Amino acid sequence: MNLEEFYNITYQAQLERVESKFDSLPNPLVKSICGGLMSIEAITVFSILLPNGIIAALVGAALPVSFLLGIAYLYAEFFELPSAYRQLLDEYTSILQKDTEPDDKTASN
């Protein structure tokens, strides 16, 4: 094994170790619960507003769901992602600092 192969294997292992927690998909149970609750909310609003007309009921049922999805998107984009990026930077910085610290054997020579 030459030095380049060793570097690539080590780099890939570090990458998988640090970023593996961000590589998973959301839990299907959580997604189904969220979809079910939003559906219940939309059906409830639709049934309450149906006596006012079908258009009013459709618009009224779509608004809360679209607001919830918009808020979830904005929260993920502006709060969760920057936090995850900061956490990744901290982990990579600590790994790089460990790699660049001199060993006791080489420091004494």
What single-letter amino acid sits at 102? P
Domain positions in the chain are: 3-99
Please state the pTM of the whole predicted model.
Answer: 0.54
Backbone angles phi, psi at 69, to 5 degrees: -65, -40
Tell whether the model's pLDDT for residue 108 goes beyond 60: no
- Give residue-wise pLDDT tens across range 28-82: 888 899 889 999 999 999 999 999 999 999 999 999 889 988 888 888 778 777 7
Give the pLDDT confidence score for residue 100 in this predicted structure.
60
Tell whether the model's pLDDT for residue 106 goes beyond 80: no
User: Which of 22, 18, 21, 23 is CA-nearest to residue 90?
Assistant: 18
Give the pLDDT confidence score for residue 48 in this predicted structure.
94
Token output for 32 = 């189904």
Token output for 95 = 């790994």
